[in-house]
Structure 1
Amino acid sequence: MFANIKQDLRAQGGDFGAQGFWALVVYRFGRWRYGVRPAWLRKPLSLIYKVLFKFVQILTGIELPCEAVIGPGFVIDHFGGIVISGYARFGANCRIRNGVVVGLGRVDEPTAPVFGDNVDIGAGAKVLGPIRIGNNVVIGANAVVLCDVPDDCLAVGVPAVVKPRTRRTPAAAGGGDAA
């Protein structure tokens, strides 16, 4: 647990005051308590987790249940209005922003998106249903993603349209010398 928290702090730029970091600390505690034996000792820790979870949810507007699976390097940029389903799975080095919802497509179908590594989710995006988001994907602000997104793509719009990502060279980005 403490190694994960240390890594989370590093991913948040060392900012103890980052509300995304607070949510991650409570998340890590919630995951850690599952391994506590015997069960009589785990029960009071579960109560503490539930109180901390609700406190962070009210204070920061971040709902990050410990049932979700989050890889290393997860960053919550900007707090508020973030709801993540306990069925969601995130790979390494993912980043989310305010107003993001990751959840079920339908309440009678308890499955949520599975994210690859290096996924960047823009503010206000909604990613819903039993879909897979590949590696190195960017989801644009306010996009509504309801379909799979392959590796190295960009998803933008409502509903989201998937486009291949183009990598700009420094010269194309205006950083090169004109001849």
Structure 2
Amino acid sequence: MFANIREDWRTHDSNWGRHGFWALVVYRFGRWRYSVGWRPLRAPLSFFYKLLKFFSDALFGIEMPCETVIGKRFVIEHVGGIVISGDAIFGDDCIVRNGVTVGLRHRGLRGSPQLGDRVDIGAGAKLLGPIRIGNDVSIGANAVVLCDVPDGCIAVGIPARIIPRKSAVDAALPLAAFEP
């Protein structure tokens, strides 16, 4: 837990004031409490986690349960209105911005997105259903992604259109360069 928190701190520019960092601290604590095997000790830790999560949700606007699987160097760039489903899976080096929803497509049906490594999600994007987002993918702002996105592509629009990158140079360009 502490190694992950140190890495999260470095990933968030070693800035204690970043709200995304504190939301990740609460998340990491929630994951860690499952490793405590002795139930009489785990019960107060669970209560403390639920209390922290309530205040984290209310203060930062980030709903991210500890059942979500998040890789290393996860960055919450801007806070507010972020909803992540408990069965979503994120790879390493992912970036999430404000207004992002990663979750279920239909109420009552299981299945949330699985994201690869180095996925950059723009503000207001919605990733819904049991889809797979590949490695090195950029999701445009306000895109609604309902289908799989292969490695190295860009998803923009409502519903999202998948645009393959032409070269490695395109990966360094901002998403605005691909908008019509």
Q: TM-score, normalised by structure 2?
A: 0.92
- Residue 120 of structure 1, CA deviation: 0.1
Match of 1:160 in 2: 160
Secondary structure of the equivalent of 1:90? coil
Counterparts in 2 of 1:159 and 1:169: CA distance versus 1, 3 Å: closer
Counterpart residue type for residue 165 of structure 1: R
CA distance in 2, matches of 1:69, 1:16: 23
Kindly provide the CA deviation profile for residues 50-80 of structure 1, in whole angstroms up to 9, marking residues without a partner as x: 0000101000101111000000010000100
Kindly provide the CA deviation profile for residues 107-160 of structure 1, in whole angstroms up to 9, marking residues without a partner as x: 221110000000000000000000000000000000000000000000000000
Counterpart residue type for residue 75 of structure 2: V
Aligned residues: 171
Match of 2:149 in 1: 149
Counterpart residue type for residue 149 of structure 1: V
Counterparts in 2 of 1:10 and 1:51: CA distance versus 1, 3 Å: same
Match of 1:89 in 2: 89
Q: TM-score, normalised by structure 1?
A: 0.93
Match of 1:132 in 2: 132
| Structure 1 unpaired stretches of 5+ | 174-179
Secondary structure of the equivalent of 2:43? helix
| Structure 2 unpaired stretches of 5+ | 174-180
Which of structure 1's runs of 4+ aligned residues deviate more than 6 A?
A: none
Secondary structure of the equivalent of 2:22? helix
Match of 2:21 in 1: 21
CA distance in 2, matches of 1:127, 1:15: 29
Larger fraction in helix: 2
Kindly provide the CA deviation profile for residues 12-65 of structure 1, in whole angstroms up to 9, marking residues without a partner as x: 111111000010000000000001020111011000000000101000101111
CA distance in 2, matches of 1:141, 1:167: 22
Larger Rg: 1
Match of 2:36 in 1: 36
Match of 1:78 in 2: 78
CA distance in 1, matches of 2:68, 2:169: 37
Q: Aligned Cα RMSD in Å?
A: 1.3
- Residue 166 of structure 1, CA deviation: 2.9
Secondary structure of the equivalent of 2:6? helix
Match of 1:119 in 2: 119
CA distance in 2, matches of 1:32, 1:24: 12
Secondary structure of the equivalent of 1:57? helix
Identify which range, 107-116 or 21-30, moves more after superposition.
Answer: 107-116
CA distance in 2, matches of 1:21, 1:78: 11
Counterpart residue type for residue 11 of structure 2: A
